[in-house]
Structures are given as structure tokens and as C-alpha cells.
Amino acid sequence: MRKEYKTIREVVGPLMLVEGVEGVKYDELVEIEQANGELRLGKVLEINQDKAMVQLFEGSQGLRIADSKARFLGHGIQLAVSGDMLGRVFDGMGRPIDNGPAIIPEKHLDINGSPMNPAARDYPAEFIQTGVSAIDGLNTLVRGQKLPVFSGSGLPHAQLAAQIARQAKVRGSNEPFAVVFAAIGITFEEADFFISDFRRTGAIERAVLFMNLANDPAVERISTPRMAITCAEYLAYELGMHVLVILTDITNYAEALREVSAARKEVPGRRGYPGYLYTDLASLYERAGRIKGKPGSITQIPILSMPEDDKTHPIPDLTGYITEGQIMLSRELLRKGVTPPIDVLPSLSRLKDKGIGKGKTREDHADTMNQLFSAYARGKDAKELAVILGEAALSDTDKMYAKFATEFERRYVSQGYDTNRSIEETLQIGWDLLSILPRSELKRIRDEYLDKYLPTRPAEEV
Amino acid sequence: MTEANRKAEAGQIVGTIAKVAGPLIVATGMADVQMYDVVRVSEKRLIGEIIELRGDRASIQVYEETAGLGPGEPVYSTGEPLSVELAPGLIESIFDGIQRPLEVIYEQEGDRITRGVDVPKLDRKKKWEFVPVAQVGDALSGGDVLGTVQETPAVVQKIMLPPTLSGTVEWIYKGEATIEEPIAKIKKADGTVVEVPMLQRWPVRRPRPYREKIAPSEPMITGQRVIDTLFPIAKGGVAAVPGPFGSGKTVVQHQLAKWADADIIVYVGCGERGNEMTDVLMEFPELKDPRTGLPLMKRTVLIANTSDMPVAAREASIYTGITIAEYFRDMGYKVAIMADSTSRWAEALREMSGRLEEMPGEEGYPAYLSSRLAEFYERAGYVHCIGADGRTGAISAIGAVSPPGGDTSEPVSQGTLRIVKVFWGLSASLAYKRHFPAIDWLQSYSLYHDKIDDYFSKHVASDWTELVGKTMQVLQEESELEEIVRLVGVDALGYKDRLTLECARSIREDYLHQNAFHEVDTYTSPEKQHGMLSTILTWYQKGLDALDADVPFSRVAGMKILEQIGRMKYIPEADFPQRLAEIRSQLDAEYIALTEGGSLDA
């Protein structure tokens, strides 16, 4: 029988102080039992002699200091995992909420994981076809990558994430595939959108959902993504599945972290976020990847909404430094009716170079990608100039580039949420668009590919 | 492991844990320890370092995850500061921030880094062929070479007398030995005889000694056109690469690690992505050094402390890296160390400082941030090594900086810029246009120009300095002209100005833009750089003359040769001289045709 302490001295925000404790360890899980038998969970944040500072996971509302008891459980916070989790819905702490039977655990795993040895990592290099041209063609996703979607309030990141979850596949392979979805402080409606989309497409059968909604306790959000990733690790590395993890919305996670940090009166870094925000986010994102000799993989698509669409805000900023690129959504494109409104210029996939080319997508992929990028950038510049000075002020070349940029947004990027394009279709649209420009402008493409792929006549306007 | 070491490793129980808060532990009963001593914490034997002493209370930063530790557990002292082991076996290895070999840990412990794992830093069993250089009876002092070991086909390690030791050689060994077996006996001045193994230890926070520093005077050729031509770095120089995320800091660092003409590369991945280290691990053995033809891995030491690994070890990783670099410098090698990213290192410093409840300076960083940065970069340089043979060695240090939001007014960038001599500022807008390397030519600088332009003029081409000056001038003019164009349109410019714009575009797109993933374009020798640049500028100069001779602007801007100029970067080094001559003669021929045709038109 574990010792119970009735020496809770303080509850301030999400923090609780227990005195006179013995043998308590750092990061240990704590159970708080109230007089009416209600149980809450917390973990040890700091232990100083006989004083333990505990972070509550479930808020402190209704907690009575006088008659509550604290039990220290002797282990960190764990998730009971099993292959039966597929198709189930859990709350933010990993308890089933879909009225299904309890999970008979195969294993109990510490949700914090442990750092992966860089020497054990296998480099992600397998092309994932998402069916979205702006991603496949220009910002290619590969297995084991962490590629966040940088969005903002009112932008359709949910539609895009659902489209990727629905369409993503590795060509020519039938390996087991699963989606782990973590809702972190999002609204019921947004969560419902994902669940109905998974139901509609049958994806729910191979999905595990962790739900912490906007009205669930904020501090619980610190555990929710870790629950999801721990489950993903089990599916990937023990059961050999290829797992796509969608975490939405990381901004809510970081705010919960800030709340705890502020309650501890820590010295804040930028905008009140704790100085260790980078390290903390890395402990989530870095758990994506592949391991040598293991068949499975974890690909992460975290979604975050940038406050005021500002990508220099600490959350997108630090995320961008950890993740292997980002998909950036643009309000301006959305207004123009481009769906999905992916702004390809500030978007980036760092791992694309290893996932594309001969034997993976097609030999001309890298060259055309570079050419499309630079042509679109120049076209956008030209269009900006035309806005100020009028179309007539553009040189003939710039006029062609301006036309290219318009067509590029219309035909390449804007494809709707239900179109699933193969990589060949994506590349062909790219070549059609490039044929708007004279061949001498296509400096970034090798001659042999120009000879082989460039359409002889400019493509007819659609 | 020798008996003495084993004893030190086992240590004495000295203190008891009183407080655990993340990576910071406070222990009591620690009156006998020294600042920066290494301690082992709890029965799990986690490695920690003492960073603060108050009475008998010591604050310890622990280099491993501290979950599961609690008050009352023991703390063992080793009586030694945090040190690296220096001996054959360093090259081709990948270590964590406190020099634990990750490959060995992987074989022993599996794919996760478990806590308290105890493996020797360098291989104790491997035998190395030791070839003596010193002879019995030689009077040697610290830094003198005892013998050599061919560590990899690319690297000969000189086994030196530790800097603190001097005396006469009583006995010297020849043949195979492990790094712990004695290879020489030295009789000290006081008559005692010490056995010297190949293995040396050195505390990471103390710079290794050298005779004197000298000003750097030769360039470190990197094969990256924008760097070698416009913003060169000297051997023994220090450079910073700040840039927002996605601007290609890591690719620049990797390119330098691949192609810089250094003898040894020490690459420190400090709080960055695990996959980037994997990339290096998988790619470097495949790539060939353009000078020796040997795999690049044969000259590379990797230190990896990825962002998910414990934060305190990240703080140490930079020092571990530079100490290993100094060891190779002392052998007379030209070493280049890349630290990616120093901002993560500074954040680790900030995190520990916060837990120590120190009064913060700017943005929560400790007040000593800039002095720590300066200390690190000052360990680079071109030196006369200690040792009688008068050899010279150099460390060039290149630090990536990741300023939040790309705004370099923050403390880490500012602290770095005060020290470094070369600044390669990466720009997000160039990166969006996929102009890589995204080094902004208007913002970057190199203070080594004066010192090393002589070298280029002497060894590459006599007009090097002139070409570089002209190039910068054209780029500068472009930015001014662009402003006019933005206001009133390109038609308002005279034809000469428009030709300047065309020339600047050619310099940007055909010269400065360089594709790191293209097999030929990834490295350009200085000779090829000169050939390319002088062709572009010759076209420009002749174009100006042609305009004077009333050739229409559209004819000059639409010359056929331009397409070939645009593709010069893809010409392999071996074919380049011949192709260059062809392009130059075509250029001349087309101009002759133009001016003759031009006068007819007129």
C-alpha cells in the first residue's frame, strides 16, 4: 500500500504543493483523491527535500486542500497500448470515451519516450504521394518527416490535413498504414469535421483519436500530444505500421505550457513563453522518423495557427527551426479562391531532395521544381510591379512571367480538396505551365530533360 | 580502463540529493568538490557537472534525463573536470555532447539512448600501428611528436607529448598498441619516469596551449562561389551564418563540411534535427574529397546532440567539439569546426541559468552570454603550435545562428557579430525565390579581403581583386536601379543602366546561384570561378562598348551566347578550360557580328 499524504498545502493555478513527503521522485505521477472519491492526476515538477511541487493535469476547480489525499505512484505518466486501439477514440489522457470496451494493454509505455540515437535513425527517403500538387511537386513529403502546416484563424488547414490523411500513400506498396490524430484544445466542430471525414472515407478503421477539446482542462494538453505520439511509436516500431500523426493545434499546446511556466514564476523568454519552449517542442517533433531495421515509420503533420498570421511569433518560429520544412497557407490566395491556399514560396520541405528523382518520382522532378519556384517568384514580382505601374510598364519577358504566375496559381495550386493527382499528372501540369515561357528562360533544367519533356507547342489555354 | 581510472570513475560518495528540478540537481554535503568537477548522480550513475557551490550545497547540471531521481539519493565525485579523450579513434566517429560514442551505444543499447550508459569514449581494444619519430635520448617538451599513427587513409595522427609534460625519452615503442598501452617512457627533470600512452585527457573548458597566434593570411577555399569570390574566409578565421528557418543555414554548413579545403572537419550538431546528423552519417562516406579522392568521412569527426537529447549536454557539446579541433590543430592540421546552431547552445545556457535563478540579462539570457560566445570563438585562430618543429595549425570556426523570426537584433546574433570577421547573412526573400545559397550580398561582409585577395591574385589570376570589386559594384548599382524601376518602370532607364541590370541578373542567376545537390555545380574551383565571372563581366564590358557603337539594346540583351553563359556552372572541371576558350571565342565572334551588323542598321 502506497503512502497517502494529507499534507497538500497550496493550490495555485495548475500547481499544487505537498509537504512532508518521503521517497518522491522527479517526474513521478501523482493521484489526488478527494473526499467524494473523485480522482485527479498530476506529476512532480520539482522536489526539494520533503516538498513536492505537483503539476495538475486536470485543473484545480473544486479541489479542497483540507480533505484531499495525494498518492505518489512511483512511475511516470504512462499510456496503456495495444493494437486494439485502432478505430477507437480516447480523451486527452488516454481514457476511452467512445463507450467501447476497455483496452487490454499489451504494454505500458512512458509517454515521454527517450531520445533516439542519431546513429539509429534511418534517413527518410520514401516519397509519399499526397495527391496535392503544391506538396508533391514542390514541397515533397517523405516517410518519417515532420512537416507542419502553418495556418491562421479562418484558414482551411483542417480540410488540407484531412485531404492528406485521406489520400496519402506510398506508391506501389501495400504496407499497413494508420493515422493517429490528436485534437489539442480545438473546438468540437473542428474535431467533428475530422471524425466525420474519417468516418465518411472509412479511415476511422485505421485511426486512433485523442481528443482534448477547447472546454477540457488546458493543462491536460501538455500530455495529449505525447499520448498520441507514444501510441504512434507503438504502432510503428512494435507493430511495423506506417503512421501519420496529425497534431492540431500546437498553439494551444504552447499556451498550456506557458500557463504552467507562469504559475511557477519562471523567467520568461519571448512573449511570455518559457525559455525551454524550443526544447519542449523538439521533444514532440523529434519523435518522428524512421529507425534502422524497423519496418514502420512516423510521419508528423502538426498544425498550428499563427497568431496574427505572424510567422515570427515564437510558436511557428521555433517549430520551423525543428521541423523539416513547413506548408504555409495564405489568406490572400484563399481570397482569390485558390484551394488549398498553399503559398508555395515560403513553404518548404527539407527532405524533398532525397525523396524525389529517378526511381522515386521522375528524373526531371528536381529541375522542374527549381524552375517552377524561380519562375513563380519572378512572376509574382512582375505582377506586383504591374499593380504599381500598370501592365504596359512590364517588359515582354516579365509579361510572360506574370501570365505564368496567374496560371500557376489557377491550374497548379488550386485543385480543390477532392482532387487526387498522381505525381505524373502534377509533373505534366508543371511542364505545360513552363511552356508559357521561352526555352532560353528555363536555365535550371538540364537540356536532356528539356528535349524529352518540354511540350513542343505552348499548351492551349484551358 | 586502468586501475586509477576505475577508481576515479567509481568515486566516493560525497553528497546527497536535496532537490531535483529538471536537469538541475542540488546536492548537500558537497564541501570537498571543485567547481566544474564531474559527478555521478544516484545509483543510475548519471553524468553531471558542478556549476555552482554555496557552502556545502552544490548545483549540478545533469547531462541525462533526471526523471525518477529524488532527494536522499547519493552523489559520487570523480574529482575530475569534464574532459575529452584524445587519441586515435576520433576520426569517422559520431559522439554525443559529452563524447560518448553513439555508434557503440547503438550496438550495445539499441535505438534509444538509455540513461547511465557507461561505454569508453574511445575504443580501448583496437590496435593502432605506432611509428616512432622521437628517439631514445631525445630531450622533448610538451607538444613534441613521439610518433605517428595512420588513423585513416586521409589522416596521420601525430602522437604528441601532453602539453604539461617534458623530459628525456628513456624508451620508445614501435608496432601495434592500444591507446592505453605505453608507447614511451619519459624521464622528467626530477628523475621520475612516466609511461606515456597514446591516450590523453583534456578538460573541455580549458583551451589547449599554443606558442603564439598569428594573423590568418590564406583563404579557406570552399568551392562555394558566393563565399570564395565575395565573402571569403581565411584559414583560422571565424564566421557566422545567421538566418531565419528555411534559409539554408544547415545546407551552407554541410557544403562547407564537404568541400572546404581543411584537413580535418569537426561538425557539431548542437540542438538540431536528428535527421540532419543521419544525413551526414549516410552521405559523407559516399562523397569524395576533391583534393585527396578519399571519402569525406575519413577526415570528419561528428558531435551530435540533437534537440531531443538532454539540454545540459548541448551546452557541453560546443566545448567538446572545439577541444577535439584543438588537438588536431596541435598536430599542425588546418581544422574547420562547424557549430550548428550556436543559438541552441545559448538557449541551453539560458535554461540552466533560469533554473539557477540567476538575474537574467536580455530576453532571459544570462548576462555572461556574450563573454561565453567570445571565449568560444577566440579558441579558433592560426597558431604556432607548441613543440620544437615549429609547425603551424589553424582552426576556422563557422557558427550558425538561428535568430528568432530572423531578426538579428537579438542577443545571440549581436554577441556573435561583435566577434566574427565574416558574416554570411542569409535572407528569407532569396530563399523564397529558391536562390541558394541565400547569402545576401548587400548585407554580408568579410573582413579578410585585404589579407587574402593577395593570395587569389597570386595563385588564381592577377585581376581577381578587380573582378570582385566590379562584381560588387554591379550588384550595388542594381539595388539602386531597382528602386527607380519600382517607382517609374524599367523604360525610364537608359540602355546602359538596363544593361547593368541584365549583367546583375546574370551574376545572380548564373554565378551566385549554386545548386548544392547538382553533382557538378556543388563545387567550383577558384580557377573555374574566375573563368565564369570574367566571362560575364567581359560580356558586360563589351556590351557597354557596343551600345556606344549604336548597337540596339535588344540585340545585346538577346545575344545567343547568354544561354551558354547561363550553363557554364554545369561544365565539369576537367572540360572547363577548353569549353571556356570556346565560349570566349564565340562571345567575341558574336560581338564582332553585332557591331558590324549594328552599324549597318544604323
pLDDT digits (tens, 9 = 90+) for B374-418: 999 999 999 999 998 889 999 999 999 999 888 889 999 999 999
Instruction: Pick the residue of B19, B63, B307, B429 with the most A CBs within 10 A to test the interface with A by mutation.
Output: B307
Calpha distance A148→A140 (Å, rounded)? 13
Task: Say if the Cβ atoms of B490 and A393 lie within 8 Å.
Answer: yes
Q: How far is A189 from chain B (nearest CA, A)?
A: 32
What pLDDT does residue B2 have?
Answer: 43
Calpha distance B304→B279 (Å, rounded)? 12
Q: Kindly give, in sequence order, each residue whose CB lies less than 8 Å from that of residue A263, ignoring residues fewer than 6 positions away.
A: A12, A13, A14, A15
| Residue ranges, CATH 1.10.1140.10, chain B | 464-595
| Residue ranges, CATH 3.40.50.300, chain B | 212-449
Report which residue type is found at B573: E
Report which residue type is found at B570: Y
Which residue of chain B has the CA closest to A380? Answer: B433
Nearest to A431 by CA among A160, A163, A139, A133: A133
Task: Say if the Cβ atoms of B354 and A25 lie within 8 Å.
Answer: no
Instruction: For residue B250, say whether it is annotated as part of any ligand binding site.
Output: yes
Calpha distance A203→A86 (Å, rounded)? 10
CATH fold of the domain at B128-198? OB fold (Dihydrolipoamide Acetyltransferase, E2P) (2.40.50)
Task: Say if the Cβ atoms of A48 and B71 lie within 8 Å.
Answer: yes
Task: Say if the Cβ atoms of A117 and B67 lie within 8 Å.
Answer: no
Instruction: For residue B245, say whether it is annotated as part of any ligand binding site.
Output: yes
Instruction: Pick the residue of B57, B104, B278, B512 with the most A CBs within 10 A to test the interface with A by mutation.
Output: B278
C-beta neighbour count of B517 within 10 angstroms: 14
Task: Say if the Cβ atoms of B281 and A119 lie within 8 Å.
Answer: yes
In the numeric block, which cell numbers belong to residue A36?
467524494
Distances (CA, A) of B163 to B159, B207, B327: 12, 11, 11
Task: Say if the Cβ atoms of A121 and B105 lie within 8 Å.
Answer: no
Which residue of chain B has the CA closest to A384? Answer: B486
What pLDDT does residue A314 have?
Answer: 92
Task: Say if the Cβ atoms of A374 and B102 lie within 8 Å.
Answer: no
Task: Say if the Cβ atoms of A118 and B435 lie within 8 Å.
Answer: no
Task: Say if the Cβ atoms of A115 and B112 lie within 8 Å.
Answer: yes
Which residue of chain B has the CA closest to A352? Answer: B517
Question: What does pLDDT average to over chain B?
Answer: 91
Lowest mean pLDDT among B312-321, B330-339, B429-438: B429-438
Phi, psi of B598 (to 5 degrees): -60, -45
Considering only CB atoms, B309 lies closest to which of A115, A312, A346, namely A115
Considering only CB atoms, A120 lies closest to which of B111, B354, B434, namely B111
Instruction: Pick the residue of B16, B60, B63, B273 with the most A CBs within 10 A to test the interface with A by mutation.
Output: B273
Calpha distance A365→A423 (Å, rounded)? 9
| Model pLDDT for residues B525-560, shown as the tens digit of each residue | 999 999 999 999 999 999 999 999 999 999 999 899
Which residue of chain A has the CA closest to B402? Answer: A321
Cβ-Cβ contacts under 8 Å, A292 against chain B: 111
Which residue of chain A has the CA closest to B71? Answer: A49
Which residue of chain B has the CA closest to A386? Answer: B489
Task: Say if the Cβ atoms of A312 and B407 lie within 8 Å.
Answer: yes
Which residue of chain B has the CA closest to A387? Answer: B486
Phi, psi of B269 (to 5 degrees): -90, 105
Considering only CB atoms, A312 lies closest to which of B404, B562, B570, namely B404
Task: Say if the Cβ atoms of A286 and B304 lie within 8 Å.
Answer: no
Task: Say if the Cβ atoms of B281 and A118 lie within 8 Å.
Answer: yes
| Model pLDDT for residues B468-507, shown as the tens digit of each residue | 999 999 999 999 999 998 888 888 899 999 999 999 999 9
What pLDDT does residue A1 have?
Answer: 60
Task: Say if the Cβ atoms of B433 and A121 lie within 8 Å.
Answer: no
| Residue ranges, CATH 2.40.50.100, chain B | 128-198
The arrangement of secondary structure in B212-449, i.e. its CATH architecture, is 3-Layer(aba) Sandwich (3.40)
Low-confidence ranges of chain A (pLDDT < 70): 1, 457-462
Find out whether the peptide bond into B437 is cis, omega within 30 degrees of 0. Answer: yes
Instruction: For residue B147, say whether it is annotated as part of any ligand binding site.
Output: no
What pLDDT does residue A458 have?
Answer: 52
What pLDDT does residue B218 have?
Answer: 92
| Residue ranges, CATH 2.40.30.20, chain B | 3-81
Calpha distance A355→A128 (Å, rounded)? 8
Which residue of chain A has the CA closest to B567? Answer: A443
Task: Say if the Cβ atoms of A76 and B68 lie within 8 Å.
Answer: yes
**Contact criterion met (CB below 8 Å) for A312 and A300:** no
Cβ-Cβ contacts under 8 Å, B403 against chain A: none
CATH fold of the domain at B3-81? Elongation Factor Tu (Ef-tu); domain 3 (2.40.30)
Counting one residue from chain A and one from chain B, the pairs whose CB atoms sit within 8 A come to: 216
Distances (CA, A) of B138 to A35, B133, B157, B167, B169: 84, 10, 20, 8, 5
What pLDDT does residue B3 have?
Answer: 43
Considering only CB atoms, A25 lies closest to which of B69, B94, B433, namely B69
**Contact criterion met (CB below 8 Å) for B204 and B82:** yes
Considering only CB atoms, B111 lies closest to which of A76, A266, A291, namely A291
Calpha distance B536→B229 (Å, rounded)? 14
Cβ-Cβ contacts under 8 Å, A450 against chain B: none
Checking if the pLDDT of B8 tops 60, the result is: no
Considering only CB atoms, B282 lies closest to which of A123, A317, A322, namely A123
Instruction: For residue B456, say whether it is annotated as part of any ligand binding site.
Output: no
Checking if the pLDDT of B10 tops 80, the result is: no
Calpha distance B546→A316 (Å, rounded)? 52
What pLDDT does residue B11 have?
Answer: 60
The reported pTM is 0.91
Calpha distance B522→B506 (Å, rounded)? 19
Task: Say if the Cβ atoms of B113 and A270 lie within 8 Å.
Answer: no
Task: Say if the Cβ atoms of B245 and A317 lie within 8 Å.
Answer: yes
Task: Say if the Cβ atoms of A292 and B111 lie within 8 Å.
Answer: yes
Which residue of chain A has the CA closest to B279? Answer: A123
Instruction: For residue B249, say whether it is annotated as part of any ligand binding site.
Output: yes
The arrangement of secondary structure in B464-595, i.e. its CATH architecture, is Orthogonal Bundle (1.10)
Cβ-Cβ contacts under 8 Å, B304 against chain A: 118
Calpha distance A68→A8 (Å, rounded)? 7
Q: How far is A143 from chain B (nearest CA, A)?
A: 12
Cβ-Cβ contacts under 8 Å, A144 against chain B: 275
DSSP-H helix ranges across B91-149 = 102-109
**Contact criterion met (CB below 8 Å) for B329 and B383:** yes
Calpha distance A389→B125 (Å, rounded)? 74
Instruction: For residue B142, say whether it is annotated as part of any ligand binding site.
Output: no
Task: Say if the Cβ atoms of A121 and B405 lie within 8 Å.
Answer: no
Q: How far is A385 from chain B (nearest CA, A)?
A: 7
Checking if the pLDDT of B85 tops 70, the result is: yes
Q: How far is B566 from chain A (nearest CA, A)?
A: 7
DSSP-H helix ranges across A202-276 = 224-233, 250-263
Which residue of chain B has the CA closest to A367? Answer: B518
What pLDDT does residue A218 have?
Answer: 86
ipTM above 0.90 for this complex:
no
- Give the SS3 label for residue B359: coil
Instruction: For residue B48, say whether it is annotated as part of any ligand binding site.
Output: no
Q: How far is B106 from chain A (nearest CA, A)?
A: 6
Residues above pLDDT 70, as percent of chain B: 97
What length does chain A have?
462
What pLDDT does residue A457 have?
Answer: 61
Considering only CB atoms, B245 lies closest to which of A25, A320, A385, namely A320
